[in-house]
């Protein structure tokens, strides 16, 4: 998959989000890390089927789903504000599924591609080579 010039690459799992911008050309991408952003975890409506109970004693899944919903909310806002014109999402499989539930149609319109793989904590070179191979 090619990374358009100035495209944003969001790399996420249920706890972390890394954003990169392609400061190179499509034919010679150069991903640059962007500053960390605060993600709202207030969206407890997301993942409601995972409420803590005797059958599911951990709230970690609810927290991960809330983080994914907050990530989608932040990305939606940036797309609607015109800050993102092209977007590639690389996320852990479960997180990607939760993100998709919250995409605004404007975000879907600028979505260049998605990769279902957990690359949080990996080097920029790993992220770039995984996208190139997709």
Per residue in 6-44, pLDDT (tens digit) is: 999 999 998 999 999 999 999 899 999 999 888 877 755
Mean pLDDT value across the chain: 88
Least confident of 4-8, 59-63, 79-83: 59-63
Into how many domains does the chain fold? 1
Mean pLDDT (whole number) for 100-124: 96
Share of the chain above pLDDT 90, in %: 73
Residue 48 lies in a domain: no
Does 99 have pLDDT greater than 50? yes
Residue 85 lies in a domain: yes
Burial degree of 47 (CB within 10 A; 0-12, 13-18, 19+)? buried
Does 122 have pLDDT greater than 90? yes
Residue 71 lies in a domain: yes
Are 66 and 44 in contact by the 8 Å Cβ rule? The answer is yes
Strand order in the sheet with 87-91: 31-33, 17-22, 8-12, 87-91, 111-116
Closest CA to 114 of 84, 86, 77: 86
pLDDT recorded at residue 64: 86
Residue 112 is part of a domain; what is its CATH number? Answer: 3.30.420.60
Name the pTM for this structure.
0.86
Does 56 have pLDDT greater than 80? no
Give me the domain span that covers residue 91: 8-40+58-133
């Amino acid at each position: 998959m090619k990374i358009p010039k100035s495209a944003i690459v969001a790399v996420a799992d249920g706890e972390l989000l890394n954003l990169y911008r392609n400061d190179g050309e499509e034919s010679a991408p150069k991903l640059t890390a962007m500053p960390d952003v605060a993600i709202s975890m207030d969206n407890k409506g997301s993942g409601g089927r995972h409420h803590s109970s005797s059958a599911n004693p951990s709230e970690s899944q609810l927290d991960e789903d809330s983080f994914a919903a907050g990530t989608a909310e932040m990305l939606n806002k940036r797309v609607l504000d015109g800050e993102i014109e092209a977007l590639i999402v690389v996320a852990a499989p479960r997180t990607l599924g939760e993100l998709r539930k919250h995409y605004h149609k404007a975000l879907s319109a600028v979505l260049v591609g998605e990769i279902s793989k957990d690359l949080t904590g990996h080097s920029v070179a790993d992220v770039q080579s995984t996208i190139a191979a997709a």
